[in-house]
Chain A
Amino acid sequence: MTLIRHELKQAWKALLIWTLAIGSFIVICMVVYPEMKSQMESINSLFSSMGSFSSAFGLDSLDYGSLKGFYGVECGEILGIGGALFAALLGIGALAKEEKNGTAEFLLTHPQSRAEIVTAKLISVLVQIVILNVAVWLMAITSTAAIGEAIPWKEFTLLHFAYFLLQVEIACVCFGVSAFLWKGGVGIGLGLAIALYSMGIIANLTSAVDFLKYITPFGYCDGSAIINKCALDSTKLLIGLAFTAAGIVLAYWKYSKKDIR
C-alpha cells in the first residue's frame, strides 16, 4: 500500500493534465455539435463520399449527422490517440523510471520482493487509467446532457469501455517492455502507441491487411462497429487480453531477476 500511495502521489499532476486535456477536447466537440448538426445534411454526404478517407475513420458506416455517429468518430480520435499515448507513457515509465532517476537503489534496498514492487506499480498504473477514464466518461455524459441531447448510455459506455481496455492493453505491454529498460523509454512508448494507431487506420483503408485489426487494440475499438452493433468483437478482445496478460507476465518474469544498475 505504501508504494502504491507513493506512486500515485508522484503521478497525480501528470494524471490531472492528461485527464483535463482529453476530457476538455471531448467537451469542446460536444459543445460545437449543435452548431454542426444544423449544417449536417451537406457535411454528411460529403464525409461519407470521400472514399478511402471515409473508411479510414469509419465515416462511411457511421451517420455523422447523428450524435452517436458524431461521437463515435470524435471520441475515437480524441480518446483513442490521447488515451493510447497516456497509457504508453505510463506503462513504459513505471519500472524503468527508478533506474533512470537513480532511485532504484533506494527502493530496492527496502524489504520488499521484486514481485511486490511489480504488483504495486502495476496497480498504480491501472488505478490511474481507471481514474482518467471514469473522469472523461463523466465529462462526456455531462456535456451531452448540457447540450440537451438524449444520452445514448449503452453506446457511450461501451465505446468508453473499449477504449479503457485499449489503454490497459497498451499500458501492460509497455509495462512488460519497461522491465527491460534502465534509461526510460519515452520514445519506445510513443512509437508503439502511434504504430498501433496507424495499424488501425491502415487496416480500415484496405482489406488486404485486415489481420492488423487483430493485432492492434484499435481493432476492437472501431467506433462504427461498436455504435452500430452495440457489442465488442470478442475474438479481437480475447487477443487483446492475451497481449495484456503477456505484458504482465513478462514484467514479473524479467523484473524478478533483473540486475539493477
Chain B
Amino acid sequence: MRLRQNLTIRQKHILWAWGLLALPVIFYVVIRFYPTGNAILLSFQNWNLLGDRTWAGAENYIKLWHDDVFWKVFRNTFVYLLLGTPISLVISFLIAFHLDRVRFMHGFIRMLYFLPFMTSAVAMAWVWRWFYQPVPVGIFNNILASFGIPQINFLNSTTNALPAVLAPAVWAGLGFQVIIFMAGLRAIPQSYYEAARIDGVSGFTILTQITIPLLKPTIIFITVFSSIGFLRIFDHVFNMTTNNPGGPLNSTKPLVLMIYDTAFNGFNMGYAAAQTVVLFTVLLCVSLLQLYLLRDR
C-alpha cells in the first residue's frame, strides 16, 4: 500500500501499460515467436513425431534441393502467383474503373461482385469441382456440348487442372479488390480530372498519366495482398483434387499442400519444416519488396 502511494504518476502509468500488456505479450511469445523459432530449429533436425529429434544439419535443405517434386511444386506455386495476380488485378481494375462511373443500381451491382468474397473456399471449391465434371454433370462441358465443341477435361488433365483450380480463387478474391480499387479511385481529387479536361486531354491519356500513377499505392497493396494469397493457396487445391491431392501427377500441388503432406501424411517433420522456411522466405521477400516500392510515396 505504501509502495503504491510512493509511486509517481509516471511510474503508475508505466505499471498500467505493462499490466495491460502482460497477457498479450505472453500470447505472442508462446504462440507466435516460440513456434517460429521451433520451426526453424526443426528444419535442421529429423523427426517422425514419435522418436527423438535428431540433429540433421543442412540435410533437409540439401534433400529439398535435389527433390524433383519440390521443384515441380515450387514452379506450380509461382504459376499460381504469376497467372492469378495479373489476371485478378486487371479484371478488378476494369470493373472498378467502370463501376465508378455507374450510378443506376450502383450498390446492387457492387454487391453482386462482392458476394463471392463472403463465401467459404471449401464450399466453393466443391461447387466449381461440380462445374468442371464431364457431361452430363458439369455445366461448362454441357455448354460446350450444346455448341458442338469437344469436351474439355478440366481436373484430370495435367495441363488444364492448374488453371481450373486457380479460377475459383481468382473469382472469390475479385470483389475485395474491386472495393479497394474503387476507394483508391475516389481518393483522387476531382480537380486533376477537371484540369485535364480543360486542357483537352484524351481519356486514355488521363488514364495512363493521372489515374494509374495516382493509384500506385493501391495497386501495390492489391498486388502484394493477392500475391501472398496465391503463394499460400491450399483450400481450393485440396478440395478440388481430394481423390489425389495436388494431382494429377502433382500438376496442381502448391507448396502448402506439399508441407501438409510431408508433415501429416509422411510424418517427416524436419523435412516439412524446411519447406515452411522456404515458404516464409518467399513471403518475406514479397513483403519487403512492397516496403521498398512504397518507400518514396
B and A form one assembly: no
A: which residues have CB within 8 A of B? none
B: which residues have CB within 8 A of A? none
